[in-house]
């Protein structure tokens, strides 16, 4: 079994390639409302996941290994955060942006949306992060300037977990198929009970081999 891989996507337009193996993979994305603000966990009522083959509608009929319309919100397969307040900001010697958020609870590799930071230019946007300690995070590949004066909210984006079984389609002889197939992960987020946000991720898998 290979180790878990972290895959960050900053945009989803149905044309992204994710290469997974027989291991756990994560997709991270920011859900954004029409206002331009990131959607938070408290605003979602469900998060439905379906897995299918993009290029072969006849297989499988009920989703890859039965994953069709499964609500994954707060199940560990689909996690998303609520807004946390920035209380300070700084720049490293290389001008990378660091933000202070009391007891943030994030992990390195998480994708976050940063909004409304004032004074510290280059902070606002969607970023994968590196955790410095319990209170400080660094925005990976950021290039900032200026001095933080006030403001800032940070929301952890949606982190969708794909399990090994999600990457494998098994025929009756026990052979894994789908090595060259395009898979589709369809995510439907129900926002404020009525608005639905359907999203699609296209991905391929590699090194499937035999199911043992």
Q: What is the pLDDT of residue 47?
A: 87
Percent of the chain with pLDDT over 90: 33
Q: What is the pLDDT of residue 161?
A: 79
Domain with CATH 2.40.30.20 in the chain: 84-156
d(CA 160, CA 175): 26
Q: Which residues, in sequence order, are CB contacts of 210 under 8 Å at separation 6+?
A: 174, 175, 176
CATH T-level topology, domain 84-156:
Elongation Factor Tu (Ef-tu); domain 3 (2.40.30)
Q: What is the pLDDT of residue 131?
A: 97
Q: What is the pLDDT of residue 24?
A: 66
> Averaged over 24-52, what is the pLDDT?
81
Q: Does domain 5-80+159-205 have CATH number 3.40.50?
A: no
Does residue 98 carry a pLDDT above 90? yes
What are the CA-CA distances from residue 187 to residues 50, 53, 167, 199, 201 (Å)? Answer: 7, 14, 16, 5, 8
Model pTM score: 0.77
d(CA 10, CA 97): 18
């Amino acid at each position: 079994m290979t180790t878990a891989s972290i895959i960050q996507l900053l945009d989803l337009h149905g044309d992204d390639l994710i290469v997974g193996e027989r291991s756990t993979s994560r997709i991270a994305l920011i859900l954004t409302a029409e206002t331009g603000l990131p959607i938070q966990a408290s605003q979602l009522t469900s998060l439905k996941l379906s897995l299918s083959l993009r290029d072969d509608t006849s297989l499988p009929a009920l989703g890859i290994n039965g994953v069709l319309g499964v609500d994954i919100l707060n199940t560990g397969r689909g996690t998303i955060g609520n807004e946390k307040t920035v209380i300070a900001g700084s720049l490293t010697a290389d001008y990378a942006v660091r933000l202070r958020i009391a007891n943030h609870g994030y992990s390195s590799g998480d994708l976050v949306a940063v909004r409304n930071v004032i004074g510290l230019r280059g902070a606002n946007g969607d970023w994968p992060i590196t955790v410095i300690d319990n209170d400080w995070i660094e925005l990976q590949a950021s290039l900032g300037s200026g001095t933080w004066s006030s403001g800032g909210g940070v929301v952890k984006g949606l982190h969708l977990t794909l399990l090994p079984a999600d990457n494998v389609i098994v025929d009756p002889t026990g052979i894994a198929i789908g090595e060259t197939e395009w898979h589709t992960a369809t995510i439907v987020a129900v926002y404020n009970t009525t608005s639905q946000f359907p999203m699609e991720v296209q991905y391929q898998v590699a090194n499937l081999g035999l199911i043992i």
